[in-house]
Amino acid sequence: MSYPIIICEDNPIQLKKITTLVENYLLFHANFFNLSLAVQTPEEVLKYLKTSNSNNGVYILDIDLKSNIDGIDLASEIRSRDINGNIIFTTTHEEMAPTTLKRKVAAVGFIEKDQTVENYRDELYGTLEYIKKLIESSKEYPKQNFIFEIGNQIFNFDQSEVFSVESSPIPHQLVFSSKHGQYEFYGKLNALESKYSFLFRLNRSCLINPMNIQQVNFHSRDVLLKNGVTKKFSIGKATKLKHALLNL
């Protein structure tokens, strides 16, 4: 599977320059990316989005598109249709960078036009390589939902909502802590540790989700989770815990 690159630049000379740079990059990365669209108007991009069902696309956008839709407006529309899209802004308006943060379009790169072709190329290629690594990482560590049963009910939690799972004082029962509260169900920690790769064994009786760690004190061996609860870990877990956090 290859991921689409979409370019939108109203200036035909700039469009040709960016397109040529991308085509040269694709000589060595055609198996991962493909140039799907290179156009001058945001309307053409919107038309493409309606029919393409893009996922993890790369969008290289000029901010000032000389249209009633500017690059930030276009990025917002892209984000609503391709939630995992990777947006690169290319512009002479460096002062617009804070606006992209306020509008929550989550741009991966912000490349200035007013620089040499060589520097522009290096920034563009570096950003494309970074996007490639992001996509590869997302495939390497697929997201899992945490699912369990209580009586006749099945509960399904997004991975990001999971804080911890630990042994209950009641034999064979576990206590599950999430953003939405606590639940008790029958199960075994060892089975859950094997099933859910995102869980980390903090100690004999507790699994945690490293994604929801707020702070780690390696001196006192305390982990503070985002729900305000502190858990202890043994000195033997310190190195593994550091690796788990770095892998995030």
Where are the extended beta strands (E) located within the chain? 3-8, 33-39, 58-62, 86-91, 107-112, 146-150, 153-157, 162-167, 173-178, 181-186, 200-203, 206-208, 213-217, 222-225, 230-232
Do residues 78 and 49 lie in contact, with contact meaning Cβ atoms separated by under 8 Å? yes
Greater confidence (142 vs 158) lies with 158
Confidence of residue 24 (pLDDT cuts 50, 70, 90): very high
- Dihedral (CA of 7, 8, 13, 14) sign: negative
Q: What gap in Å lies between CA 142 and CA 234, rounded to an integer?
A: 28
Inter-axis angle of helices 42-52 and 71-81, to 10 degrees? 0
pLDDT at 142: 58
- DSSP secondary structure string for all residues of 150-164: ETTEEEEE-GGGEEE
pLDDT at 239: 87
Residue 156 in this model has a pLDDT that exceeds 70:
yes
81-85, 186-190, 201-205, range with the lowest pLDDT:
81-85
Q: What gap in Å lies between CA 209 and CA 198, rounded to an integer?
A: 6
Q: Please give the domain boundaries of the chain with CATH numbers for all domains.
A: 3-140 (3.40.50.2300), 146-247 (2.40.50.1020)
Closest by CA to 84, choosing from 48, 110, 62, 56, is 56
Percent over 90 (pLDDT), the chain? 57
Q: What gap in Å lies between CA 223 and CA 120, rounded to an integer?
A: 43
pLDDT at 15: 96
Residue 140 in this model has a pLDDT that exceeds 70:
no
Cβ within 8 Å of residue 56, ≥6 positions away: 3, 82, 84, 85, 86, 135, 138
Residue 139 in this model has a pLDDT that exceeds 70:
no
Q: What gap in Å lies between CA 143 and CA 162, rounded to an integer?
A: 12
SS (H, E, C) 120-148: HHHHHHHHHHHHHHHHHHHHHCCCCCEEE
pLDDT at 136: 83
Please give the span between the terminal C-alpha atoms of the chain, in angstroms, as a whole number.
Answer: 25
pLDDT tens, residue by residue, 201-238? 999 999 999 999 999 998 899 999 999 999 999 888 88
pTM tops 0.75, yes or no: no
pLDDT at 114: 86
Instruction: Tell me what the mean pLDDT of segment 40-55 comes to.
Output: 90
Greater confidence (143 vs 193) lies with 193
Residue 219 host element (H or E): none
